Amino acid sequence: MDESSEISADMPVRQGLTFDLDVDICVIGGGLAGLTMALESARQGASVALLEGRTIGWNASSHNLGTVMPGFGVPASDLIERVGFEDARELWTLAQEGADYVRATAAPMPGIALSEGALEVSHVDAGDELISQLQTMGEDFGTEIEGWQADRVREVLKTDRYFHAIHFPKAFQIDARTYVRGLAALAESAGVRIFEDTPVVSIDPAGIRKRVFTPSAKLRCDSVVLAGNAHLGAPSQRLTATLLPTWRYAALTEPLGTQLLHTVVFRGSVIDSHGIDHFRVVDGDRLLWSSPETTWQGDPRRYAKRIQSRIAATFPELGLVTIADSWNGMFGQTVHGMPQIGELQPGLWVLSGFGRQGLNTTAMGGQLLARSILAGDDRWRLFSPFELVWAGGSAGRIAGQAIDMWTRSHSAAAGALSRFRERARERELAREYAREARIASAKAQASIARQHASAAMHDERRGPGA
């Protein structure tokens, strides 16, 4: 499937930049982060031009499951270890503000299909980890969460694949494509000039006024924001080299009827703790499922078969479902697992690396940089520890693919071991119950025998004529 043609089919046609232009801010990249940054800058009175090499939202920004959760793509404990407790908590607060922004911005959009709740499920039985996560995110960072034991999880997800879970009642999901379209429309209403089919050839960041060159025109501005993905290319090879290109594949099933409603009772998003599967019910009785990741682009139809197998393995009651559509999206994944937000040099800013971070972080980053450039908000420095780190080029992609395959196989093995142990415990309990039942039966029979013997002795003492 050609994502760009699919998006442009229901997006307004925007012309490329064919004339020289002077603005306050130039945003390069028309995904969620770039659109948010442009919108918020225009709302603060800046003149803004956004340059997109293809069409708005053509890549990962429009091809995701639309789940909005608190936090980042790395565990809170890892964040604390990297930057310390206070800075980690402030970063977490920023991420929550991003989630609030998406909710407030998306809610009035027609067709946004907003629904509530998310469940992070575990393949393994690790209750101690659950308690630790609940304490860190709930008590320390103030996130509204609940811990669910396995029996409660299995009431809403009819499978033995999952054990405990963390429930995020304030998380939500939206139609990602509708949100991208809505953001672009809001940005243009605020005065942002969006130019599609306008790749950036080079950037001259020297001097107070920066120069951005495209094939047909030149743009001058005070600030340049690099909001592109791993395909940014020529404008900033340094940035592109820090992002590991990763493709995520998704599929939508045909309507599955009441069987799906019985099997997947939970109506929010479900994400496994190892980041392998991510799914939710849409359109009442269809399953939207995202599963494999690769560092090399493949045919979505081939990966749809893998998703079909994953669904059957997770929910045997559904069997081999029929896939109605499949697609992929490429995102840039950073080595340290956090977004790259900040000032590379005076007037040249980076807003990238949102792969695996969630929609909330794109909103957070866009708001933060708009405030940084126009109002002097220096909280972007909280991201300074997450500097630009080379992703390893082709060797990094090979290593990333190997690590991903190891993670999937390790998760599968750990899950199988947990299920084996659970069944072993159940068999042991069954044997224990049976043993106790046999002992209880033997004791009851012995008691009855003693009663009969006692009655016989009593009758004998009384004699035949009694």
- pLDDT tens string 276-330: 899 999 999 999 999 878 888 889 999 999 999 999 999 999 999 999 999 998 8
- Residue 46's pLDDT band (cuts 50, 70, 90): very high
Q: Which two tokens stand for residue 199?
A: 């790749």
Q: Which two tokens stand for residue 133?
A: 């996560």
Alpha helices in 112-175 (DSSP H): 127-133, 150-156
pLDDT digits (tens, 9 = 90+) for 128-181: 778 888 888 998 999 999 999 999 999 999 999 999 999 999 999 999 999 999
Query: What's the DSSP call for residue 60?
Result: G
435: tokens are: 């043993």
- The whole-number pLDDT of residue 388 equals 65
Strand partners, 167: 119, 146
Residues 6+ apart with CB under 8 A from 34: 27, 28, 50, 52, 225, 227, 228, 351, 366
Compute how many other C-beta atoms are within 10 angstroms of the C-beta atom of residue 67.
Answer: 22
Residue 425 pLDDT level (bands cut at 50, 70, 90)? low
- In this predicted model, what pLDDT tens digit does every residue of 353-368 receive, in sequence order? 888 888 999 999 999 9
DSSP single-letter state for residue 11: S
| Residue in the block written with tokens 């908000």 | 377
Inter-CA distances, 217 with 201, 227, 458, Å: 10, 20, 116
- Whole-number pLDDT of residue 433: 65
Q: Distance of CA 441 to CAs 197, 438, 446, 449, Å?
A: 82, 5, 8, 12
Vertex 446 angle, CA 444 and 452, to 5°: 105
The domains located in the chain, with CATH, are: 1-113+174-243+334-391 (3.50.50.60)
Q: Name the DSSP letter for residue 358.
A: -
Which pLDDT belongs to residue 5? 40
Which residue in 61, 65, 79 sits closest to 113, CA to CA?
65
Residue 420, pLDDT score: 46
pLDDT digits (tens, 9 = 90+) for 436-461: 777 777 777 777 777 776 766 666 66
What is the structure's pLDDT at 442?
72
Please report which confidence band the pLDDT of residue 464 belongs to, taking 50, 70 and 90 as the band edges: low
Q: What percent of the chain has pLDDT over 70?
A: 82
Instruction: Identify the three-state secondary structure at position 190.
Output: coil
In the numeric block, which tokens belong to residue 405? 């395959």
> What percentage of the chain exceeds 90 in pLDDT?
60
pLDDT band at 102 (very low <50, low <70, confident <90, very high): very high
Q: What average pLDDT does the segment 217-231 reach?
A: 89
